[in-house]
Each structure stands twice: as C-alpha cells, then as structure tokens.
C-alpha cells in the first residue's frame, strides 16, 4: 500500500455522529406513566382500581356541582328550582358570604378595613418568608404591620398603636444600650423603658382620643374566617419566640428557671386546649378585680399562645438535642458568650432541624382556632353552626357550608405545608 493511500484511509472516526432522540417510551409523559403508574403488574392493578374509584366519585358528585343554584334567597327556593333533581344550593354562599368571612356584627360599610389588613399581611410576610428575594428595607414595614393591623381592624385613635410602637422602640434601644453589660441587664432595662413609655402614653391617648380615629369595633363583633385568621396569625407569631425561650430555659443550668419551664410545659401539654379556652372565657374573670374589662379575644390569644408555645418548645428542644456537641464547643472556642453563641450558631441550626415539627404545630394550631366556637365566639364554624343554620331560610344546608369551610382551611394549611417543604429545600446546604 502506498504512502498516499495510507494517509487518505482513516481507521478512527474524526466526526461525532449526531445525537439520536431517546425512544418514545423513555421520555415525556409516557416515561412518567411507566415509572409511576404502570411499573409492574401490582402498580398497574392499583392504578386501574384508583382510576375506577376516582371516576365513580367524580361521576357521582359532578351532577351535584353542575346543577348548583347560586341565585336564590332560601333553601325552599333552591328546592323549587331543582324540582326534585340533584343539585347543590350554593346560594347560601352568595347570600351569606359576608357573615362567613367577617361575622354578622362587623359593620358592613367597614369591610374594607379587615380586607386591607389581610392584603398588608401578605406584603408584611413576604420579606420574612422569602428574605432573599426582597430588600431588607421591607422588614421595617413588617415591624410596623401589627400596629397598623390593630388600628384597621379594631379602629379607634391612631395614637394607641403609635404609643405601643414607641414603647417597643424604647425597650429595644434600652436593651441594646445595656446589652454589653449583661443580657439580663439589657432585658430588665428594655422592659422598664417599655412600661414607662406606655404609662406616659396613656395620658396622651386620653387627651386626644379622636386623632385619626376610625370607627371603633369591639372584639365581640369580630367573627367569621377573619377571626380564625387573626387568632392563627397572632398566636403562631407569638408562640414561636416564647417556645424558643421555653426550650432554652428547660436546658438552662439555673435550677429555678429550668423547673419553671418544665412545670409550665408539662402542665400545658397535659391539659386539653378546650379547657384552657373555658378558663379564658369563664374562670379567669373570677381572678380579676371587680369591674375589670379584660378583652375576650386577648384572653383567648393568651391561652392559645401558651398552649402552642409549650408544643413548639418541645419541638425546638428536640432540634437542640440533635445538634452534635462539637457545635457548642466550636462556639466556645470562638470566645462567644451564651447569648451570642445561641443566636448566631446554635439556634439557627436547631430551627432548621425543627422546621417540620414547627410547621406541624402551626397547622394544628390554625385548625384548632375553630374551638373558640364552643365559648360562643362566632368564627367560621361558629357562624355556620349558629346564625346561619339556625335561620329559617337556610336550615338544612350542610354540605355547601361545611365544604366551603373545608376549602378555606385546606388552602391555608396546604400553603403552609408547601412553603415549609420549599424552605427545607432552600436550607438543605449539606446535601448540595
């Protein structure tokens, strides 16, 4: 073979063949169905049975939804229009939506106030839940939101929430000023500054009760799903920091603080929530001076917060126990004191471990807010069981009302659950 022919014949391919698409059974929807629905004869059988039951449920329930009535003013009119057929009477939702959402005593011309407070709640929560996606300046509005929401929902003079805000600001400034001496000294100074500002502010609010005042709405007039949102949001927000303090107190080396936290946690966890609500509604009044007006919603918030904080404390204690001893030793080797090591090293890791348990307590707490209906508070369930079903127009409507309540609670609880799973994935730095 000549040299020229040897140079023109190649035994190694110099160009890559173009990529070929995978088979149709190994991509897209078909691949997903093979892996998740028809992977073996047992999964195929379960899939077919599941589809059969889903079909039976949808086929049976669809006429009830499709033939639903939305425009009548009573159950009797619904039945007349249905003429003995199958169909839902959704008219109760269009007729009583305002009572289901806001209660039957909240002034109808003031519905814009709790609606605006709910929209502002979503804005205030955004930088807390998605801190990496929002500027840090938005945390200022998050801190102001509780005072704005109180003014919007309850009304009255704007000076009341302003004085409360100034009290917290003064307490924080005093705490930071004395924190370098000791953490306990900072806490005492902060509490004293807050109490003094609130005491002085009482004279100011009394002198100008009409400053930018909205129509006052007493707590007894709050109701509907709005009341469930208020109780759930406030109690979850308060129970988390209190639960952290209880968990740290239970692990403290100071015997008195440790046993106070232990007794509190074990007592609260051993008592049903409904008994605490009865205590808030009835028994607590016997321990107050005669003529004292202690707001019922505030009493309920205190009891529910105590209940949930005890459970959150145990969840966080489990997260603290799961941390290896080396984390504590690393904090000591850096020369950090107890407050610094807990805030910067220990607690962030413990909270990360405790996310599923904390979310579980939060979801359970939000659902347990319906228990306030047993102490004559007209939340969503109280409105359904009381004024709506007791009326002659809608006596006998059950599935539509309870289905609406289920839908509202499911949307909120499912949203909380999905956020917690997203947060776990975002914080899973050790698996990346």
Q: Can you give the pLDDT at residue 432?
A: 45
Q: The pTM is what? A: 0.83
Mean pLDDT of 111-125: 91
Q: Can you give the pLDDT at residue 185?
A: 76
Q: Can you give the pLDDT at residue 313?
A: 92
Question: Quick check: 138 and 426 in contact, CB under 8 A?
Answer: no
pLDDT one-digit tens code per residue, 119-138: 999 999 888 888 777 788 88
- pLDDT exceeds 60 at position 2: no
DSSP assignment letter at 106: S
Question: Quick check: 362 and 339 in contact, CB under 8 A?
Answer: no
Tokens of 307: 């209940």
Mean pLDDT of 360-378: 88
State which fold the 88-106+221-432 domain adopts: MetI-like fold (1.10.3720)
Q: Where are the alpha helices (DSSP H) in 9-111?
A: 28-36, 41-66, 75-82, 91-102
CB neighbour class for 309 (10 Å; exposed up to 12, middle 13-18, buried from 19): buried
What are the two backbone dihedrals, phi and then psi, of residue 52, each rounded to the nearest 5 degrees? -65, -45
Helices vs. strands in the chain: H and E counts, helices first:
21, 0
pLDDT tier at 51 (50, 70, 90 boundaries)?
very high
pLDDT tier at 156 (50, 70, 90 boundaries)?
confident
Q: Can you give the pLDDT at residue 411?
A: 93
DSSP 163-202: HHHHHHHHHHHHHHHHTTT-HHHHHHHHHHHHHHHHHHHH
Give just the sign of the alpha carbon dihedral 421, 426, 429, 432.
positive
Separation of alpha carbons 424 and 431, rounded Å = 11
DSSP assignment letter at 93: H
Which sequence spans correspond to the domains of the chain? 88-106+221-432
Tokens of 302: 């205190």
pLDDT tier at 16 (50, 70, 90 boundaries)?
confident
pLDDT one-digit tens code per residue, 190-218: 788 888 887 877 766 665 666 677 888 88
Tokens of 98: 């305002």
| 65 compared with 338, residue with greater pLDDT | 65
- pLDDT exceeds 70 at position 183: no
- Kindly report the length of the chain: 432
Q: Can you give the pLDDT at residue 3?
A: 53
Write the Ramachandran bin of 77: left for phi over 0, alpha for psi from -120 to 50, otherwise beta. Answer: alpha
Cα–Cα distances in angstroms (integers) from residue 330 to residues 93, 316, 318, in the given order: 59, 20, 20
Q: Can you give the pLDDT at residue 18?
A: 81
How wide is the angle at C-alpha 336 spanned by C-alphas 330 and 337, nearest 5°?
Answer: 120
pLDDT tier at 85 (50, 70, 90 boundaries)?
confident
Angle between helix 296-322 and helix 355-368 axes, rounded to 10 deg: 160
Mean pLDDT of 101-126: 90
Q: Can you give the pLDDT at residue 126?
A: 87
Chain-centre distance of CA 387, in angstroms?
27
| 416 compared with 331, residue with greater pLDDT | 416
| 262 compared with 279, residue with greater pLDDT | 262
Q: Can you give the pLDDT at residue 219?
A: 84
Q: Can you give the pLDDT at residue 312?
A: 92
Chain-centre distance of CA 402, in angstroms?
21
pLDDT one-digit tens code per residue, 285-312: 676 666 667 778 888 898 899 999 999 9
Separation of alpha carbons 340 and 331, rounded Å = 9
């Amino acid at each position: 073979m000549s040299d020229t022919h040897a140079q023109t014949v190649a035994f190694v391919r110099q160009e890559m063949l173009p990529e070929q698409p995978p088979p149709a059974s190994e991509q897209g929807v078909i691949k997903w169905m093979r892996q998740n629905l028809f992977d073996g004869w047992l999964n195929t059988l379960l899939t077919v049975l599941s589809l059969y039951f889903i079909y039976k449920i949808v086929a049976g329930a669809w006429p009830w939804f499709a033939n639903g009535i939305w425009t009548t003013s009573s159950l009797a009119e619904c039945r007349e229009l249905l003429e003995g057929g199958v169909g839902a009477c959704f008219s109760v939702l269009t007729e009583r939506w305002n009572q289901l959402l806001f209660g039957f005593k909240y002034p109808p011309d003031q519905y814009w106030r709790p609606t605006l407070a709910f929209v502002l709640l979503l804005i205030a929560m955004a930088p807390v839940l998605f801190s990496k996606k929002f500027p840090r300046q938005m945390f200022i509005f998050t801190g102001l939101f509780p005072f704005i929401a109180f003014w919007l929902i309850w009304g009255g003079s704007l000076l009341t929430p302003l004085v409360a805000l100034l009290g917290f600001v003064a307490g924080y400034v005093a705490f930071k000023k004395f924190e370098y001496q000791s953490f306990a000294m900072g806490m005492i100074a902060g509490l004293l500054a807050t109490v003094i500002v609130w005491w002085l502010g009482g004279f100011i609010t009394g002198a100008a009760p009409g400053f930018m005042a909205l129509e006052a709405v007493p707590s007894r007039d709050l109701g509907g799903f709005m009341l469930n949102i208020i109780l759930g949001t406030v109690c979850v927000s308060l129970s988390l920091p209190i639960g952290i303090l209880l968990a740290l107190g239970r692990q403290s080396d100071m015997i008195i603080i440790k046993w106070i936290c232990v007794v509190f946690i074990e007592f609260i966890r051993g008592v049903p929530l409904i008994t605490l609500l009865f205590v808030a509604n009835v028994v607590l009044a016997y321990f107050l001076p005669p003529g004292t007006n202690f707001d019922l919603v505030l009493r309920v918030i205190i009891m529910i917060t105590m209940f949930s904080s005890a459970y959150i404390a145990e969840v966080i204690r489990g997260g603290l126990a799961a941390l290896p001893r080396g984390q504590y030793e690393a904090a000591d080797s850096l020369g950090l004191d107890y407050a610094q090591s807990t805030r910067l090293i220990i607690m962030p890791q413990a909270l990360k471990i405790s996310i599923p348990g904390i979310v579980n307590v939060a979801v359970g707490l939000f659902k347990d807010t319906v228990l306030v209906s047993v102490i004559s508070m007209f939340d969503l369930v109280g409105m359904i069981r009381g004024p709506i079903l007791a009326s002659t127009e809608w006596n006998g409507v059950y599935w539509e009302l309870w289905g609406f309540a289920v839908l509202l609670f499911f949307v909120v609880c499912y949203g909380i659950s999905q956020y917690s799973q997203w947060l776990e994935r975002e914080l899973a730095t050790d698996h990346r």
